[in-house]
């Protein structure tokens, strides 16, 4: 039974029904990345959370390794998501685009990834920048090569009916506001776009709303992730048993990620920008950390989406 039919049945019987995201102009997704911090389980456990919370799409991380991790073939994955009326929205794609000798291989990998996504009806490719270059390396040359690589990926994407965009991220070559602006200036807007992560924008020192406004016509996908800098008072223990020392940058990052509405990101202002441009596409709520488990966190995000964001634009 479809979740919408089940919920309607409960309402008819007089049971209180929790509202789920409408998934109209904006379609809501989650990221498989959260589950990499949990003990190994079945992929269907992620799909169960999606069904219960109304997040109908998934961004696959670590492709194609994620298929091996969960012992899935592409056809098995397609069967599991289809029978639940769910979707594969995109994947997290990356590579050493700052190395021009790798461009041909990276573009072919991008084409392979898009062929995979096309089988699920997807048409967006989220492109992660390479890791920050080490001291002593020619960062300017690497940045130029990266942007050229992004344009080549974008050209391949356009040929295949896709749109590709950069996903800013801490610890990569597109981290701070100057690097975001430089990347946007050095890539061709007819080829390559913007797939921002709000938490990484905020933690990287950007004004999230200003970035959305400045590049609103290049928005093709985005992660809504809340954040506020938080200093850990103790070691951070992840559900998979990994322990991050309280003084480490990793612990500070994980302690600074929050469910929607619990941090400092101004999502209502972002939503008003999406309304201006009549955005139609995916928003991925990517939670690197959940303090009460995935189901509780995504239910919390449900309430925030329905009560705060959908009245603005959905």
Strands 163-166, 257-258: pairing is: unpaired
Which H or E run contains 279?
Answer: none
CA-CA distances (angstroms) from residue 70 to 46, 67, 254, 259, 266?
Answer: 11, 5, 25, 26, 36
The whole-number pLDDT of residue 135 equals 85
Residue 3 lies in a domain: no
Q: Tell me the residue range of the domain where 208 lies.
A: 21-309
- Nearest-Å Rg of the Cα atoms of the chain is 19
Whether 15 is covered by a domain: the verdict is: no
Q: How many domains does the chain have?
A: 1
Let me know the angle formed at the C-alpha of 128 by 169 and 99, rounded to the nearest 5 degrees. Answer: 115
Average confidence (pLDDT) over 37-51: 95
- Confidence bin at 122 (pLDDT 50/70/90): very high
Q: Check residues 276 and 1 and name the one with the higher pLDDT.
A: 276
Q: What is the mean pLDDT of the chain?
A: 94
Residue 48 and residue 24: Cα distance in Å, rounded? 21
In a domain, 1, yes or no: no
Q: What is the pLDDT of residue 5?
A: 52
Six token digits for residue 126 = 């989220």
The pLDDT value given to residue 74: 95
pLDDT reading at 2 higher than 70: no
Q: At 43, which CATH number?
A: 3.20.20.150
pLDDT tens-digit series, residues 61-104: 999 999 999 999 999 999 999 999 999 999 999 999 999 999 99
| pLDDT tens digits, one per residue of 156-175 | 999 999 999 999 999 999 99
Q: What is the rounded distance in angstroms from the CA atom of residue 270 to the CA atom of residue 143?
A: 28
Residue 8 lies in a domain: no
pTM, rounded to two decimals: 0.92
Percentage with pLDDT > 90 across the chain: 93
Which residues in 149-298 belong to E strands, given as ranges?
Answer: 163-166, 192-194, 222-224, 226-227, 236-237, 243-244, 257-258, 281-285
Residue 12 maps to a domain: no
Q: Is residue 231 a part of any domain in this protein?
A: yes
Q: Which two tokens stand for residue 234?
A: 């103790």
**Distance between CA atoms of residues 119 and 117, nearest Å:** 5
Number of Cβ within 10 Å of residue 59's Cβ equals 26
Q: Does residue 14 belong to any structural domain of this protein?
A: no
Residues 6+ apart with CB under 8 A from 233: 246
Q: What is the pLDDT of residues 228-250, one digit of tens each?
A: 999 999 999 999 999 999 999 99
Examine residue 11 and state whether it is found in any structural domain, yes or no: no
Place of tokens 């594969």: 88
| Tokens representing residue 310 in the block | 């959908």
């Amino acid at each position: 039974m479809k979740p919408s039919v089940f919920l309607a049945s409960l309402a008819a019987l007089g049971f209180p029904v929790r509202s789920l995201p409408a998934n109209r102009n904006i379609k809501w997704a989650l990221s498989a990345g959260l589950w990499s911090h949990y003990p190994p389980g079945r992929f269907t456990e992620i799909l169960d959370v999606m069904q219960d919370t109304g997040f109908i799409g998934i961004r696959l991380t670590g492709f194609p390794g994620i298929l091996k991790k969960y012992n899935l073939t592409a056809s098995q994955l397609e069967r599991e998501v289809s029978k639940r009326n769910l979707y594969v929205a995109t994947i997290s794609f990356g590579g050493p685009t700052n190395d021009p000798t790798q461009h041909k291989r990276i573009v072919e990998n991008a084409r392979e990834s898009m062929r995979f996504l096309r089988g699920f009806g997807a048409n967006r490719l989220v492109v992660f920048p390479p890791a920050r270059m080490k001291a002593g390396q020619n960062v300017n040359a690497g940045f130029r090569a990266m942007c050229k690589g992004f344009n080549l990926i974008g050209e391949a994407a356009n040929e295949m009916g896709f749109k590709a965009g950069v996903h800013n991220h801490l610890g990569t070559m597109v981290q701070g506001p100057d690097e975001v602006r430089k990347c946007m200036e050095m890539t061709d807007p007819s080829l390559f776009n913007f797939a921002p992560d709000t938490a990484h924008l905020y933690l990287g020192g950007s004004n999230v709303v200003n970035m959305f406004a400045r590049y609103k016509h290049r928005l093709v996908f985005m992660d809504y992730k809340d954040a506020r800098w938080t200093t850990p008072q103790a070691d951070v223990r992840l559900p998979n048993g990994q322990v991050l020392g309280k003084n480490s940058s990793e612990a500070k990052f994980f302690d600074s990620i929050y469910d929607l509405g619990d941090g400092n990101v101004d999502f209502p202002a972002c939503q008003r920008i999406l309304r201006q441009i009549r955005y139609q596409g995916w928003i991925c709520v990517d939670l690197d950390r959940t303090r009460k488990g995935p189901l509780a966190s995504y239910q919390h995000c449900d309430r925030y989406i329905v009560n705060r964001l959908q009245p603005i634009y959905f």
